[in-house]
Each structure stands twice: as structure tokens, then as C-alpha cells.
Structure 1
């Protein structure tokens, strides 16, 4: 029955692997990578199509290339026409190309399906479509998982200026207004403006990912949670990083990296400690900036993002044992260090007024901490 059903929904299945942990999967000619929630597994691979599924054959994601298609309109028509789908959506600019995101409904045999279609037309790749779907009656159950998997797709190797396609689509409906933020960092004062759409979309992504995390809860799932929020936040934080690059050298020397790390740490330590009170109980980095408040892990994530904007190597440390999170940065000088990958990262406590490299004695056991590493392709920067 399962094999028959795969045929009915146009899947040619080669069982390559079962459910995978939350990790990035390289996509080669289909794009750079996808970073789906825990449980998604690659079940089918063809020359022009990849198929992922969630356990129990309950939800699917297809990534398909359409070589030779000319233009976004033709791409949408071809993708929907092949499965006789109906739906509606919106066109928008994404990365270096044109994109479309919309709903789809289609049937095959005795089965009815609903989901979402993302089409992308750019000179950097063959025309490409993402199709995420489930049984129509089950879409509400798997909606977050489908949207999160689609949103984790990256068509580019350098993703730091490019939010996921679902988040990019969401931003076109919430932008236009801005909030002024005053900065006082290292003796310098300036003012920036943050688009309110960035704040609203970041909150949506955070809550969606928290719901998924709540159903998984593994270390790998926690690490993915931070990776997704990292990627989603970077573009919205550009007004801040541009301002910082006017205050400090964009390519600091080894000696200068310590001063940058210390100044940013002192600035964030002055923020008010606050949890969001939402389901996620997490303040995303953009809202941290706008409200000058956050908790240990949200402040730590913002700290890491800002250090990465200077190509300063930094990681996030989280601890279930201590119920705490810290930043850690590879800079010269004194201080307690966390050993990882042959380096010693100086610890950075964000929620107490202490110097870089100081840590409470009752939290000093390295075995109590888990590093969250952000892939190199998220930290290579170009202005």
C-alpha cells in the first residue's frame, strides 16, 4: 500500500536513509543546503528531484529543478501543471532572483493533499521549486514542520544576508515602519532604525521553531533552533552591524578583537534581563536590540552574531545542568577558556557585570556545557 501511495503522489522512492538528526544536508546542484527539523529524512533522489519525508509518511518536501524553463511565470505554471494543483500566492524578490510563495491543493488517485509551493528563478541556479505538503486533513498538524523545513532551504552558499524563503515572504507583509534604537557602545553614541517587519517576522519564526523544539527537545534539535534563529536574524541586524563597522575596524587585528569583544560584552551586560513570556520563552536577537532586554541565551546569540560580523570566531555555550547560556570568543588575553576543536574560547557572561573571561565557580566545569556551532557558511561575510 505504501509503495502504491508513493507512486500516486509522484514519488520514485529510493530508501537512502531514514529519519536524520537536525543537521544541515548539502544539496549540490539543487542549492547550498537544507537544515530540516529533526526526523525529516531523504527518501528519494533523482537527477532533477530530491524527496524528503517526515516519519510515518505524514508530510513531504520535494525540491525539484526545471532546467530550460524561462521566467518565473512559466516555472510556476509548469510546477502546478504537472500535479494539476490549484492555489494562490505572491511574487517577491529573493536573493538575486525572483520568487513566488503560495498555497497548493492537489489530488492523486484517492488522496487529497495540501501544502505550499516556493518557486525561485535566478541566474545562479536552474529554476527550482520547493513543494511541501501533507494529507489535506492533516496539514494543520504538520504545518509548522513543513514551513520550517522549507524555510531552512538555502539557494546560496553564503547565507548571512538571506533569510529563509518563508521568512522572506512573511517580511513583505509586515515591513514599512521602523523603530529608532539609541546605541552607547565603547564610549560612542549613535542612532539606528530597525524595520518593524524584521521584529514581527523574527517573533513568528521564533515561536514556530519553539513549537517544533518542544516536540523534539534533543541536543541536536536545540542546536538547530539556534542555527535557524541565527540565520533569520542576521539581515534584520544589518543596521546595527553597519553602525558597528563605522566604530571599529571591519577587519580587526588580533589585538583589536579583544577590545571589540569586551566593548560589545559590556554593552549587552547593561541590557535588562527579561524572558519573553510567550510559548518559546525566548527573546529573539532583533527584539533584544529593539527592547534592550533579553535572557542569557538570546543575549548570547546576539553577541555571537555581532562578533561574527567582524569575522571574530565565537560560539554559544548552553547548559541544561546549569540552566544557563554564555558566549565564548576566540581572542587573545587572560580568562577562563572553553576548549573546542583545538581552540580555547574565552567565556563571556552576558547577564552579570563581570569582565570577559570570568565565570562563576559553580558553573566552571566544562563538562556541563554544550557548544552551539554555527556553520562556516553562516560566518563568511561580505559588505
Structure 2
């Protein structure tokens, strides 16, 4: 059995950019907060990371089914070695069993507090820990939870994270109108959890300065998109069937037109962003919540699209990979037709006051899941 290590004062090895990193052996990915460092990834069984200031640490251990015979054994292993004191809860992460705990412990006579997640995988188990000094935990809790929430068990990437899933204990289904007196059921608690995740990520985004803001902004939208993606499975399938008699281009037009007719509202929360799933069932939202909704549904349909956001214009739109005449946005050597989400205009039309391509940032979710 390999020895468990919990490091706190790290030697900085490599600064991370705005992309998830993948551990093929452990079959997981993690999308660390911008500015975090790799401390040690020389041993694929145990990877270590830290925040830019070294005050927060994260470790992920991978254990084969030969080393660990069950999830409880892994929990006991960590609990015994680090004398963990705190509360834990069981949860189900997709088809895998998991345990999430908030624990106090001591390392080298230093009081620590952290969040630990233990999860089954296809061929083994993951032990994920993220922690800091006990006195710093309250201020660090958002970034700690976000870090653990960014872990994905491969090959699925577009799904809610561990914290989001573990926070959703009970379904509260309601009947919601979609189109032409057609109804589907949606989960109110799922909407509540998705908004909690958005507010957490917005607080993290607000902590970044100008130099790191763009990368942090991309991560912000990425985690929100992934958290909402499967929450929109039922709606995406419903709309696909409802408009099945039309061509792909016509279905895209109908989707964009449907969302354009929503009521324009702001969330009035810190994030100023209503979750895409709430936007769908409340028929309201602003530009970026509507754009994320359209992009998610299009991906369910197998249509590639990107999010276009502009800090200068305070606006967001969708870029769609389709054969269509109109204004286009070049992103990663590809052309995307622009689709406005808050004005009832045809795909390909854009206001002259927001038409400077250099003012727009493209964010792609497609490549991460394909």
C-alpha cells in the first residue's frame, strides 16, 4: 500500500492555464482554479497541487481494486492515518458510490481543515482531499469546494461535479410548460443547486485581477456549463422530438427564436446570472444564461457551437457551426455564424454597435467532451 501524503508548504513546479488536466491511469480530469500549481505529478497514483500562494493544497490518490477492496476501506485508511474528525455523507456519483466529508486534522502540530471525497471508479477508487489551515478555511471554502467539484471521472466530462451531486439529496419534481401546452417534469431542487454553484463560482471569479481574469472567466463558464448540461437532458430530447419534422437548420432557427422570446430578466444575485436550467423553465434570463442554454441544447443535438462574451459590450451571444449566410465569428481557425439571444432577429444578424470581432472572447465547450 502506497503511503498517503498531505503536503502544505509546496515547492512550485508548474503554473496551470485555463484547461483541465487528465490523469489517464486514474481515469479522471481536474480543472484547477487559475493560477494553481502542479506540485508533484511524477507518480500517477498520487498527484499534488496548490494555490498560487501555497495556502491551499489538493491531492488526488488513485487506488486499484487490488489495494482497496471497498470504499469503506479507503475511508478508514484516510481516517486512521490522519485522525480525521468531522462529518461525512454518502452520495452517488453517476453509478459510483461516494463519501464526502468535512474534517479537521493535524499535520506536524498544525491544525488543518479540509474537504475529502472518496469515490469509486470503473477500476478502482479515488481519494480526493483539499485543505488549508483551520483558521483560513472559511475564507478558502469556495475555492476548496470548486476544486473538488472540477474533478470528472472519465470518459464523461459534461456532468455535474462531486460537490454539486452530493448537495442534491432529493428530487422535487414539478410539471413545467414548454411549448404549445406541452409539459415535461423538471426538478426544482436541481435548479436550486445549480444556482448555488453559480454563486460560488461568481465569488471566485470576482477575486481575480486583470491579468488572470480571462482564464478565470473561461473556467467560470465551463463549470457552469458542465453543471447544467445533464440537467437539460430531458428538455433537449423533448425539443428534438417536437421539431423532428424539420431540417437541422430549421430546428436551430426554431430553438434560437424560442429563446429570443423569453422575458429579459437579471438574477438580482451576486452572479447576475440565472442558471441555464432555470432560464429554460422560467422562460426568462439575460444574454449569457440564454446563450449557455442554447449551446447546451445544440450539443445534445450534435451541433457544435461556442459562447461569445464581451466584457466591453457587457453582452453574450452564440456562435453556431452551420452553413448559413450572415455575420460570422472566427474562432480557432473555424467560422461560426452569430446568433443573438435577447433580440428577435434572424441568425446571422448583429447590431453594428457590438460588431467589432476584437471585442469578443470565444469559449468552446465542445472540444472538452468530444
TM-score range relative to shorter protein: over 0.9
Q: Measure how far apart 1:143 and its partner are.
A: 0.4
Q: Measure how far apart 1:23 and its partner are.
A: 2.2
TM-score by length of 1: 0.89
Residue in 1 aligned with 2:202? 210
User: CA-to-partner distance for each residue in 1:27-54, whole Å, 9 max, x for gaps?
Assistant: 2222331112212211122342111111
Contact residue 49 and residue 57 of structure 2 kept, 8 A: yes
Q: Could you tell me how far apart the structure 2 residues matched to 1:304 and 1:338 are? A: 15
Q: Could you tell me how far apart the structure 1 residues matched to 2:69 and 2:353 are? A: 62
Q: Could you tell me how far apart the structure 2 residues matched to 1:180 and 1:220 are? A: 38
Residue in 2 aligned with 1:247? 242
Residue in 2 aligned with 1:100? 99
Are residues 1:322 and 2:320 paired?
no
Q: How does 1:51-90 map to 2 (within 5 A)?
A: 51-67=48-64, 68-90=67-89
Q: Could you tell me how far apart the structure 2 residues matched to 1:323 and 1:56 are? A: 31
TM-score by length of 2: 0.92
User: CA-to-partner distance for each residue in 1:119-148, whole Å, 9 max, x for gaps?
Assistant: 0123x1421110111000100111000100
Residue in 1 aligned with 2:172? 177
Residue in 1 aligned with 2:154? 156
Query: CA distance change for structure 1 residues 354 and 93 in 2, over 3 Å: closer, same or farther?
Result: same
Q: Measure how far apart 1:304 and its partner are.
A: 0.5
Residue in 1 aligned with 2:165? 168
Residue in 1 aligned with 2:184? 192
**Among candidates 1, 18, 24, match of residue 22 of structure 1:** 18
Query: CA distance change for structure 1 residues 47 and 334 in 2, over 3 Å: closer, same or farther?
Result: closer
Are residues 1:41 and 2:37 paired?
yes
Contact residue 21 and residue 221 of structure 1 kept, 8 A: no
Q: Could you tell me how far apart the structure 1 residues matched to 2:315 and 2:44 are? A: 46
Q: Which moved further from structure 2: 203-212 or 342-351?
A: 342-351
* Count of aligned pairs between the two proteins: 361
Structure 2 residue ranges without an equivalent (≥5): none
Query: CA distance change for structure 1 residues 355 and 154 in 2, over 3 Å: closer, same or farther?
Result: same
Q: Measure how far apart 1:151 and its partner are.
A: 0.1
Residue in 2 aligned with 1:120? 119
Query: CA distance change for structure 1 residues 209 and 80 in 2, over 3 Å: closer, same or farther?
Result: same
Contact residue 15 and residue 44 of structure 1 kept, 8 A: no
Contact residue 157 and residue 377 of structure 1 kept, 8 A: no
Q: Could you tell me how far apart the structure 1 residues matched to 2:224 and 2:189 are? A: 15
Query: CA distance change for structure 1 residues 17 and 149 in 2, over 3 Å: closer, same or farther?
Result: same
Q: Could you tell me how far apart the structure 1 residues matched to 2:348 and 2:176 are? A: 29
Q: Could you tell me how far apart the structure 2 residues matched to 1:85 and 1:76 are? A: 10
Contact residue 298 and residue 305 of structure 2 kept, 8 A: yes
User: CA-to-partner distance for each residue in 1:41-69, whole Å, 9 max, x for gaps?
Assistant: 11122342111111222111110112220
Secondary structure class of the residue paired with 2:335: strand
